[in-house]
Structures are given as structure tokens and as C-alpha cells.
Copies of this chain bind each other. A is one copy, B any other.
Amino acid sequence: MKDFFFKKVKKYILLKEVFSICKNPKTINSDKKISGVNNLVEANENEITFFNNLNYEKQAQKCRASACIVTSKTEKYLNKNVIPIISSNPLIDFYKVVSLFYPSSSLDSEEVNPQTNISKFKKRNISVGKNCLIDKTAVIGENTIIGNNVIIKSNVHIGRNCKIGSNIIIENSLLGDNIIIKSGTLIGQTGFGFSFENNKRIKFPHIGRVIIENNVQIGSFCTIDRGSLSDTVIGEFSSVDNQVQIAHNVKIGNFCMIAAQSGIAGSTTVGNNVQIGGQAGISGHLIIGNNVKIGGKSGVVDHIKDGQVVMGYPARSIRDFIKDKK
């Protein structure tokens, strides 16, 4: 996670601080240094993670983190080399730990410190429309065109030969080359996640980015939320039509085609060369294989293997769908 845009405000915290946040009765008064946070799969030594969902039992057994916030029920599945820290609500407690490192990552800051040196752009053949607010930290590649009323907040890199329409907001995102973003789309905001504690809304931190690879096309009025602990990714040559919702941590492969008004819920992974029809919906935390075709208006609630053609709600193989409807 070293490449994330969000800057850590602390180099490390002490393990006993985590025990204290988790209000853990078996507190270990450890001065062990925890240098970062990560998800269950990607966490390495000296990092802390959490494990509260038995769907991730296998990943917990292979966990390489130094410590892991667990429940009294999930503790036993955790790799024995990892220090378990029992919590009644691992998610909220983990997010409190994340906030120690990244205090403002659960919010969408509206602050922009606008570029003023427009001549710098002209020299590199970058065209910027009227009434734009482009943050001083933004990196923009040669020959890129930016429309009118565009807001580019902090932590944005845009590559070369891109075409950014009008009325677009981008933040915490990394865009490659030859990308088309049509007018009115929002990229890189926080996702929907939150919990309540003592009648206070705890918004999930979002330290991830949106990564849009080369040659992607995105339609209008799409919402592509940035990742919470990993990145939201749209792979090379993939194409997204208008009014599509892509939630936090979603990974979409290369050469995919996503028709209008579709939605993909958080943390789902879509393979390469997948076609998704209009108004289709895919639930969260699923794995969709390569070369899959999902019919328009389908509701996908389970994993799909490579090469499957599915339709309906819940989506099933197209043969079964047609048989059922006869």
C-alpha cells in the first residue's frame, strides 16, 4: 500500500493502543510497533488487519499480519502466528485504528487549491475549459483535454491524450492514457460504508484510490467510488456506459463492456472480457470469471465461473432461464 495517495500522519502506533481501542479485557501491554493497516489478504509483517466474516476463513489461515482484530468466534480460524485482538465490533475498532494513521480518509474534502499557472498547461498542449478548479497537486499529461466546470481535487494523476468532459469531479484517482470520461461523472469519492456507535455515524475510512487504466471509456453520471483498504480498478480498454454505479474496492478486468444503469456492489472482482447488459446488478464480494456474459437486467448474487452466460434474477445459466420462462 506504499503507493496510496493518503499520507500517514504517524509512522507507527503501539500494539497496546489497539488493545485499548478494542476495550480488550486480556490486554497485552505490548510496545510492539504497528507500522500500518491493511486488508486480510495483503497485510504483511508489522501491519494490522481485521477478520470478522467467516467467508474469509481461508484467507485468515494464511494471514501474514502481525496482529488481527477478531471476534471471539472468528479467533480460532486465524493463523496462529498472528496476535489476535478480540473485539465486540472488529470493523469499527479497526477503522478507529485506521483513523490514527489516516485521520481524514473517511471524508470527501471539498477543498481545492486551484492551479493558477495555466501557461504551464499550454506549453504541454493541455486544454482546460472554463470555470474549472484544478488543484495544485494535480498531475496532467500532454495533449489531455479538460472540459468546463471540472473539479480536480487533491491526489489526482491524469495521463496523456485523455478527454475529460464537463461537470466532472475527480479526487484520489490515478488515470492512465487515452481515457475518455464523459460529462457529469464523479470519480474517487468515499463509498457508502458506515456503522453506528452510540448514535454517532462512523464512516469507513477510504485510503484506497480509483485506478483507471489506459484506453478506458466511462459514460456520464457514473459514480466510481474509491477503495477503502484496496483500490477500485477499471482495466485497460474497458468501457462503461452512462449512469453506472461502481462501488468501493471493485476490480474490473480488461476489455469489459458495462451497459447503462448497471451497478456493481463493493469488493466484487470482474474478470477480463466480461459483458454486462443494461440495468444489471452484481452483489458485493463476488468473483466473476473471464469471458462471462451477464444479460441485461440480471441480478447476480453468486460467483460466476469463466465463460458462463447468465441471465435473470437471481442470474442463472441462460439455458435454465429460457426453460423456466416457457
Q: Which of A247-263 contact B (CB under 8 A)?
A: 247, 255, 259-261, 263
**A296 CB → nearest B CB, Å:** 6
Residues on B with beta carbons closer than 8 Å to the beta carbon of A180: 201, 203
Residues on B with beta carbons closer than 8 Å to the beta carbon of A108: 163, 165, 182-183
Residues on B with beta carbons closer than 8 Å to the beta carbon of A114: 130
Interface residues on A, range: 35 or more
Say whether A105 faces chain B, with CB atoms less than 8 Å apart: no
**A219 CB → nearest B CB, Å:** 7
Say whether A194 faces chain B, with CB atoms less than 8 Å apart: yes
**A64 CB → nearest B CB, Å:** 33
Among all A-B residue pairs, the 3 with the closest Cβ atoms: A110-B147, A297-B299, A223-B242
Chain A residues with a Cβ under 8 A of chain B: 107-108, 110-112, 114, 129-131, 133, 145-149, 151, 163, 165-167, 169, 178, 180, 182-184, 186, 189, 192, 194, 196, 199, 201, 203, 215, 217, 219-221, 223, 225, 237, 239, 241-243, 245, 247, 255, 259-261, 263, 265, 278-279, 281, 283, 296-297, 299, 301, 312-314, 325
